[in-house]
Structure formats: C-alpha cells, structure tokens
DNA sequence: CCGCGATTTGAGAACGATTCTCATTAGCCT
DNA sequence: AGGCTAATGAGAATCGTTCTCAAATCGCGG
C-alpha cells in the first residue's frame, strides 16, 4: 500500500488551487488552520512535497529564501511572471529561451541542463497601489 | 561617514574572489575562520550583503534554499551556468533573454521587473566522471 | 461491521540559515 | 592624541523547514 487518501491532503490540494499565485507553505498552513480543524504544519509540508514530486505542483525559491508552491495547470515545462507584492502569477511560455538555454549549456560542454527562468515584478494593481501610497506621504 | 575600511571586509572580498564558483556564507565563514583570526559570522553576512548591494558580488538562492555568493567580474547584469556537482560557474551573457524578459513583463503590465535566469547542469568534467563511475557498476 | 497492520498525522523538538542585540573595538577626521 | 561613530563579534533570537514518535486513521480481509 503506497498512498492513502486523507482529507488533509485533499484540503491542501484545494487550498493550493484556490490561491491565485504562489503561496508559501506557512501561509497555506495559516489559511487552512483558520478555516477549520487544526491541520498540522508538518502535514502541509509533507503534502506539498508530495504534490511537487508528482508534478501536480510547482515549487520555487522566493528571493527571500522561502519555498513557494503553486498548483500547476500545464504539466509541461514552463516559467513564471510573479508579482513580488501580491503573489499573482502568470504562466508564460518561453520557447526561445528554452532553446537558448539548451544551446548555451551545450556550447560550454554542460550536460543534463535544467534552467531557472522566472521574472519578478510588481503587477499593475500593486504598482498603482504603491504609487497611491507614495503620493499620500 | 558612510563606509569604513576594515580588514574583515577585505578578507571577505578576497575569499570570495578566490572561490572558483558560488559559495555559501557559511562555508566562506568556515574558510576564513580556519585560516586566521576569528572573524564573526555576522560580519561575513554583513560584508556579503554590502558587496552584493554595491554590485561587487552576485547572489542567488540554491535549490536547497541557501544563499550563494560569487565575486562578480563584470559589473553589469549577467547570468550563470553552474555545475551542480562541482560548483564551477561560467558567466554568460543573454542579451536576447534580457529583452525577452523586459517585453514579457511589460506585456503583462508588470513594473520594476527583475529576472532570475540561471542554468544548472553537469560540466564536461563532472559528466565524464559520472560516466566513468556508472561504467564501474 | 470488525479488526489488523501499515501509513499518516500532529505537537513539539530539533535544525540550519540568517538576522538582531548590544557592549566593545577600532576607523577616520581634526 | 582624542572623540565621534560605524563596525565587530558572541550569542540570543527568529524564521522556515525537517524530524521524532506516540496516537489516530485508512483500507483491506474476514
């Protein structure tokens, strides 16, 4: 018997889908704990690791060093455009970049190349909000 | 008075230059502590943060969540091709990718975009070594 | 429907990296 | 040399993540 179905794992999967963009394990745990029974932090971590391993979720390291997760719609390889303020995420394709990465690695004799290509910025909404706040000061 | 010159900062800069590739703050501290007077861990972190802020060093998050630093030869913006086995790092230019990142961010209404573009792989040497070992089994 | 064994869970401890605190040290300018 | 102040270092504090282990739970066979 390899894998059991528990309501906890299901809840984590749901919460991950509901989130608009990347979320940290910590905030996911907080959300889940608020809305209902006391799910354990360790369980959230385990569930997320599991989902990531099965390719049902994406994970990346935020510049602040936190691990962020996101439900992954396209199972294939893809990249992200992430709002550093609200976490909104846009999945982007980058065929050109794929090719470039592959060629660059080969040109330098590297094998089994993986690449990390993500863009962090402020989405239109957050940029506007920040401008508004700046004006107030 | 904004910035003072201390031998500690100098040592950190040296140690960073001596390293072949990316190193963690921890291992840098270990190295420095071994070779001489007891430099403080906090000081190493402060020096690294300073160097990174001034553009004299690059920093990135390893997949394991550690922050890695490297002395940066070209002051401009650039990317890396990193051997996941030995840490060897090649600085690469990616003008095309810069443009692509910028355009992509703009197209989605994002501002102040930064991007992370790094390639991890096995350098020729490590790939050969791994083949040799596989043959032995 | 019941029981059994293996898997999961949850609370908290353990851990590793990074940051903070604060008394002490040591640049830099006059 | 003397004073002002930034920088240092030791350890505590913080934060995210993983580990431990007893207790709860799942899912199968009966």
| Measured CA B12 to C1' D8 distance, in angstroms | 14
Nearest residue on chain B to A81, alpha-carbon basis: B105
Using a cut of 0.95, tell me whether the model's pTM lies above it.
Answer: no
Q: Which residue is nearest to nucleotide C10 (CA to C1')?
A: A40
Q: Per residue in B16-44, pLDDT tens?
A: 998 878 899 999 999 998 887 789 999 99
> Distances from the Cα of B84 to the Cαs of A58, A90, A109, A110, B93, in angstroms?
20, 28, 13, 10, 20
State the average pLDDT over residues A40-53.
Answer: 94
pLDDT, tens digit, 9 for 90 and up, residues A65-86: 889 998 876 667 788 888 877 7
Nearest nucleotide by C1' position to the A62 CA atom:
D16
Q: Which two tokens stand for residue A73?
A: 């719609």
Q: How do A23-24 and A57-61 pair as beta strands?
A: unpaired
Rounded to 5 degrees, φ, ψ at B79 are -130, 180
Q: How confident is the model at residue A109 (pLDDT cuts 50, 70, 90)?
A: very high
Quick check: B119 and A105 in contact, CB under 8 A? yes
The total number of residues shown for chain B amounts to 137
- What's the confidence (pLDDT) of residue B1? 66
Tokens of B109: 């209404």
Closest CA to B97 of A124, A91, A119, A62: A119
Q: Establish whether the CB of A65 is closer than 7 Å to any nucleic acid atom in strand C.
A: yes
């Amino acid at each position: 018997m390899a894998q059991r179905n528990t309501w906890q794992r299901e809840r984590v999967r749901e919460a991950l889908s509901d989130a608009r963009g990347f979320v940290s394990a910590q905030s996911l745990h907080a959300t889940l704990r608020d809305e209902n029974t006391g799910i354990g932090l360790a369980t959230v971590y385990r569930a997320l690791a599991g989902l990531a391993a099965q390719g049902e979720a994406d994970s990346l390291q935020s510049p602040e060093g936190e691990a962020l997760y996101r439900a992954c719609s396209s199972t294939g390889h893809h990249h992200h455009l992430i709002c550093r303020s609200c976490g909104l995420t846009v999945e982007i394709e980058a065929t050109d970049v794929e090719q470039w990465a592959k060629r660059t690695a080969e040109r330098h004799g590297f094998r089994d190349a993986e690449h990390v290509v993500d863009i962090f910025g402020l989405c239109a909404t957050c940029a506007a909000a920040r401008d508004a706040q700046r004006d107030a000061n």
